[in-house]
Amino acid sequence: MGLSILLMILDQRGAGLQRVREILSVPLSAFEYAVSWPIHTFDQFGNALNSHAGLAKENRQLKAEQLLMKAQVQRLLAIEFENNQLKALMHSSAQIHGKVLIAQLLAIDSDPFVNQVILDKGSHDGVFIGQPVLDADGVMGKIIQVSPITSRVLLINDTHSGVPVQNTRNGVRAIAVGDSYSRKLHLVNVPQTVDINVDDVFVTSGLGEHYPAGYPVGKVISIKRDTGLQFAAIDLQASARSDRSRQVLLVWPNQNVVSTPIKAGAS
């Protein structure tokens, strides 16, 4: 009976208790927020770290894939360049009266003032000292050293090189020597009065029996005539692209032409 009366009294005063509960809930909510905030913040920080790590990993993967794709593109461009060189060599070899063999550069001399290269053909392939070496554009040099499987080429723009040449315009003959410093060619012992002009093209004269006659050597790019000197200073730009060619032609001028197998895209 007493319990019923107490419940009735509490029920009549419920509105007052509700107000008390509302007032007390404010500090309790603040306390709950203060307790939960570090946990919530830590969770957000952890998610941010995981997201950043994932993005960083994905970025590294994308950069690696991009680098790989660039390397593949460069490789395709290199193959295309080599194929074009081989086509040019095939065209050039058809114009040479003699046996030819395609060789590939293995190494370039590290001395900047020594213009020599190493080829992947040697005495086992019939290569001999003094043999002319051409590329698709002109005379490149001659063999100066031979081993069973490799050979060394002295390029025509080396100081120790000399090529008998002839002017295609008027037949004037001269000797073209190399300049290792400028990598150009000079005509030596040419009198001041000789008829040579800028843009004249010089080819091998065939004299000296090292180079086949009529193959491009270079084009005149400058002429200096000093009346106080006996000879003119005449510079040529070499026709051969020795700084770019990967494949070259080894020539046997006095032998019959034989077919040379060529694999497109060889490297």
Residue with more model confidence, 250 or 75: 250
Phi-psi region of 189 (alpha: psi -120 to 50; beta: other; left: phi over 0): left
pLDDT score of 48: 67
pLDDT score of 202: 93
The pairing of beta strand 185-188 with beta strand 233-238:
antiparallel
* Residues in contact with 93: Cβ distance below 8 Å, sequence separation at least 6, in sequence order: 100, 102, 249, 260
pLDDT score of 148: 95
pTM listed for this prediction: 0.60
CA distances from 173 to 49, 150, 213, 224 (A): 78, 34, 12, 18
Per the structure block, which two tokens stand in for 248?
A: 């070259």
The number of CA neighbours under 13 Å toward the Cβ of 143 is: 25
Task: Using CB atoms within 10 Å of the CB of residue 85, give its burial: 0 to 12 exposed, 13 to 18 middle, 19+ buried.
Answer: buried
What value does the CA radius of gyration of the chain take, rounded to a whole number of Å?
A: 41
What confidence tens digit (pLDDT) does each residue in 38-88 have?
666 666 666 666 677 777 777 777 766 666 566 555 555 545 555 655 555
Distance CA 180, CA 156 (A): 9
With 50 as the cut, is the pLDDT of residue 264 above it? no
* Residues in contact with 211: Cβ distance below 8 Å, sequence separation at least 6, in sequence order: 132, 139, 142, 163, 164, 204, 253
- Please, which residues bridge with residue 105 across strands? 119
With 90 as the cut, is the pLDDT of residue 234 above it? yes
Residues of the chain above pLDDT 70, percent = 62
Residue identified by tokens 């830590």 is 42
- What's the angle, vertex CA 244, arms to CA 242 and CA 246, rounded to 5? 90
Per the structure block, which two tokens stand in for 38?
A: 């570090």
Residue with more model confidence, 59 or 200: 200
Distance CA 21, CA 258 (A): 109
Distance CA 24, CA 248 (A): 95
Q: How far is CA 107 from the centre of its chain?
A: 15
What confidence tens digit (pLDDT) does each residue in 103-159 have?
888 888 767 778 899 999 999 999 999 999 988 788 899 999 999 999 999 999 898
CA distance from start to end of the chain: 108
pLDDT score of 36: 63
Could you count the other beta carbons within 10 Å of the beta carbon of residue 115? 24
